[in-house]
Structures are given as structure tokens and as C-alpha cells.
Amino acid sequence: MKIVIANDHGAVALKEEIVRHLKAKGHEVDNIGVDSEESVDYPDMAVKAAKRYLSGSYDFGIVCCGSGIGISMSANKVPGIRCAQVFDLYTADMCKRHNDANFIAFGGRIQYQVPVSAMLDAFLAAQFEGERHQRRVGKINSIC
């Protein structure tokens, strides 16, 4: 898979961990995030990742900030992006199976109960179920 990832200063170490994990699994990762803890604005990073994803050559995107909240909210403002902030294996799986998430978000300052790598693997393994969920995703996409 080809994946775009972006982060702000609050998730540099987490982004590096994610990139290492995905590359070890054989995925191509386009790292457009920052590599220092010098302050940058997470909305800018979210929009940058969303626009790169929407260029059409990516399977999904990942965004990270300190909490994962602001960057996911920002990504969801871009038409065509369905970003889910995941916290465990259930949310990582279900955001793809039922909501066809094309972005996931994590927080670099969050103490997760489950390793982020395991959540990524759950997301990667999940398949959108379509059917009744397609109607709902269509409604999400139609919201202005």
C-alpha cells in the first residue's frame, strides 16, 4: 500500500515509529510531516496530507498531533476525507469496516493501552463492508 503521513511537533516520535512499522511491513510511506519539535500548526499539516491523498495515488492517510484531536478535526474539514481517531483494536477495525475511513489519527502524547502498531495492523486488515454502510458513508460525504 501507499500511505501518506503527516504530523505536527507533538507527534514526531510517534510518526517515526509508525513509519518504521509500515515500512517493515513492505508499505510505501510518503512522510510529509515534521521531524523536529519546533512548533507548527496541525491544521496546516492535516490539509497538506489530505490534499496529497486526494491527488489519487494513495491508499490511505495518517495524521498525528499531540492528542490526535485537532488534526483529525482539521482533516475532516477537507471534502472527501473521513478521518477516524482510533484508540483501540475495535475502533481501528470498525472505522474501516463500517465507515470506510480513509484517514486515521493518533496522538503523540496519548498513553494507548494497545500499541499503535497493532491498531495500524487492525486497520490494514479490515475491509469496508459496504451494503447498508455504503448508504451511511454516502450521507457522510454529502454533508457540507
**Any idea which residues carry the catalytic annotation?**
65, 98
Q: Quick check: 120 and 32 in contact, CB under 8 A?
A: no
CA distance 101 to 96: 5
